[in-house]
Amino acid sequence: MTGSLGRLPVLLSHAMSTENASTSDEQHRLLAARRQKLDALRAPGADPFGGRFDTDGTVGDVRARFAEGTVFRVAGRVTGHRDFGKSHFLDLSDLTGRIQFYVNSKSLPPEQSAALNALDLGDFWGIEGEGFITKTGEPTIRASRFVPLSKALRPPPGGYYGLADVEARHRQRYLDLLANEKSRATFLLRSKVLRGIREFFHERGFLEVETPMMQPLAGGAAAEPFKTHHNALGIDLFLRIAPELYLKRLLVGGFPKVFELNRNFRNEGLSRRHNPEFTMLEAYWAYADMELMADLMEDLICRLADNAERLELKDAEGNVTRTVSFARPWRRARYKDLVEEAAPGWFALTPEGRVERARGELGLEIAPGMADFEVTQQVFEKKIEEKTFDPLFVTHLPKELVPLARQNAADPSLVDVFELVINGMEFAPGYTELNDPDVQRERLLAQSGGEKMSLDEDFLLALEHGMPPAGGIGLGIDRLMMLLSGSDSIRDVILFPHLRPKE
RNA sequence: GGGCUGAUAGCUCAAUGGUUAGAGCACUCGCCUUUUAAGCGAUUGGUUCUGGGUUCAAGUCCCAGUCGGCCCA
């Protein structure tokens, strides 16, 4: 890299003392070289880990305001070094981009010369100098001064090919973020989406609230909770599987529009689509219903997708594999009508006839003893849901599928619920919420198999004080991010996904 | 939980059961004052994930394990 490093004795012992025996000698050699330079920086009395450095903004800011002859101060990681003996072209990078700076090593003061010799890729530097344009037209800062701000004692991974190892990308996300532009883009987008959600609801008069993540009873959904213990109170607590029952208490308390955007926890398996902790949006709106909530959901997602007409999903090579149309209004259709579209005459059959047809003509696997509504649900999942890519609100679901929702006034076998399907997946549910405390009690009892111990009596007490009729929605933010960022795995949209510990 | 599949240098990847496991980049050294995946030359760098087994011979085949990936439940 640089021809003027001089003769540095290779002292492996320095690095050996801080490394365990399993680290290879090669690693020792690479680390030893960096520690040599660390010591070299300390020699003139400098602090290799720097301190405050006032800048004129980010690298992106400097690029935007770049002008020849103007002096800029900027800080970042040194990510490139092209050395011509006397002329050095270096890259300084931060999250906002990269800018080239130039150092002429011919006439440097001694401490600057020492700093340049002690440079490794990955080190943080602050630089100051005039802008100029090189022969090749590159905006460049002629660094009249540079300050080492932090030494990187390990080499950056990646390089031209990036960091490809999936496991390393997840276990050491910081390296993924440094090495892979796509990963940076995904998490910048995630931050933008979270901000967009908050803005959307604030504009509509919703209050952002925070309800307990530790709950005496894990209600609001059917899932295995994590259990913990509070010593001072001497009680077991559960990490929440949903915030729903607390948000509804707020409707009782007179907050007519609330939303919560935060983590839920489910003690279940890990997969491409499941992380034990995941981010959920829930919103409740007094005096609204399922239809208004569907409108709200459509508005929200279109806005988060920057009102794009369509979303192109790409494979690893960047080829478009599918296009999801966001053209509005999004289709709304009844569950039964959709099943009839896929299997005409379905509901005229006997339950036995449906099993026969599902196994035969439709080619589905129907387990023995499957309930009639489950057979129909198989048809829905395999023949409709998995083949629906553009947004579709499926409405008027059979009540067996959603036991906690309010029954439809005209047809008590149905519930006033929608399920939004996008890209072949259940994406987000919406409800006309149940606010009759007696019916709610019956439903919760039925759900718990008649076990009264697990009834959230405090929630039922709240309902008895009166909850306004309301609409509610839930939106899994991780799956939304998978869609918007074109990721196949939830681990690509969660900064630090859970993995089995190594060793 | 089941099936399939993967783990080789710091990174990205090669290597018919057969010589001393290679290449590019990075690192280190030499040359170079306008490059940008800089260039040219040289030198380094390996517990082939771990533990067994088969074989004259194992990165390669078999078994078990660890950690991933894909599919299914």
Question: What is the C-alpha to C-alpha distance for residues A64 and A66, in angstroms, rounded to an integer?
Answer: 6
Whole-number distance in Å between A233 CA and B22 C1': 64
pLDDT 10s digits, A322-367: 899 999 999 999 999 999 999 999 999 999 999 999 988 888 888 8
Question: Which two three-digit tokens encode residue A291?
Answer: 């239809």
pLDDT of residue A503: 67
Q: Which nucleotide is nearest to A26 (CA to C1')?
A: B45
pLDDT of residue A15: 30
Q: Which nucleotide is nearest to A91 (CA to C1')?
A: B36
Whole-number distance in Å between A393 CA and B6 C1': 40
Under a CB-based contact definition with an 8 Å cutoff, are residues A372 and A351 in contact? Answer: yes
Distances (CA, A) of A415 to A138, A399, A406: 63, 5, 6
- Nearest protein residue to nucleotide B70 (CA to C1' distance) is A272
pLDDT of residue A27: 56
Question: What is the C-alpha to C-alpha distance for residues A51 and A41, in angstroms, rounded to an integer?
Answer: 14
pLDDT of residue A20: 32
pLDDT 10s digits, A379-388: 999 999 999 9
Dihedral, CA of residue A438, residue A441, residue A447 and residue A453, to nearest 10: -160
Distances (CA, A) of A214 to A225, A238, A240, A456: 11, 5, 6, 14
Whole-number distance in Å between A203 CA and B41 C1': 65
Q: Which nucleotide is nearest to A23 (CA to C1')?
A: B47
Whole-number distance in Å between A103 CA and B68 C1': 44
pLDDT of residue A45: 79
Whole-number distance in Å between A483 CA and B71 C1': 21
Q: Which residues have CB under 8 Å from A96's CB, separation 6+?
A: A58, A59, A60, A61, A63
- Nearest protein residue to nucleotide B13 (CA to C1' distance) is A161
Question: Which residues in chain A show pLDDT less than 50?
Answer: 1-26
Whole-number distance in Å between A179 CA and B11 C1': 10
- Among residues A120, A110, A134, the alpha carbon closest in space to that of A37 is found at A120
Q: Which domains are seen in chain A, by residue range?
A: 25-164 (2.40.50.140), 180-330+390-492 (3.30.930.10)
Q: Which nucleotide is nearest to A140 (CA to C1')?
A: B34
Question: Which two three-digit tokens encode residue A184?
Answer: 């940076």
Q: Which nucleotide is nearest to A500 (CA to C1')?
A: B67
- Among residues A298, A308, A321, A309, the alpha carbon closest in space to that of A423 is found at A321
Question: Which two three-digit tokens encode residue A406?
Answer: 């309010």
pLDDT of residue A26: 47
Whole-number distance in Å between A271 CA and B1 C1': 13
pTM of the model: 0.91
- Nearest protein residue to nucleotide B37 (CA to C1' distance) is A160
Chain B footprint bases within 7 A of protein beta carbons: 1, 9-13, 24-39, 44-47, 66-73
